[in-house]
Amino acid sequence: MSAVEVQIRLSELLLERALASIEGFATGSAYMTDLDDEIAATRSAYTAAAITDIARLRAELSGPRVG
């Protein structure tokens, strides 16, 4: 999954959390705890995907290694 795809998912989760807060879901409820855990995992996945995308682009720009 590309960094852009993970970023979109992260945005969806953050929107879901905002809507849940507006609807009155209590912080610390099982739903909000699960949602916060998923947001944290998705943030980590986004970081990893971004680093991978950057490394892939750098490799493409530097061309094949000779030697």
Given this model, what pLDDT does residue 1 score?
87
Q: Is residue 65 a part of any domain in this protein?
A: no
Total domains, the chain: 1
- 55 within domain boundaries: yes
Separation CA 10–CA 61 (nearest Å): 28
pLDDT of 34-47, one tens digit each?
999 999 999 999 99
Q: What is the pTM of this model?
A: 0.82
In a domain? residue 22 = yes
Query: pLDDT of 13-24, one tens digit each?
Result: 999 999 999 999
Confirm whether 67 is domain-assigned.
Answer: no
Do residues 2 and 53 touch, judged by C-beta distance below 8 A? yes
Give the pLDDT score at 10: 98
Residue ranges making up the domain that contains 9:
3-60
**Cα–Cα distances in angstroms (integers) from residue 24 to residues 11, 12, 39, 44, 50, in the given order:** 20, 18, 19, 27, 34
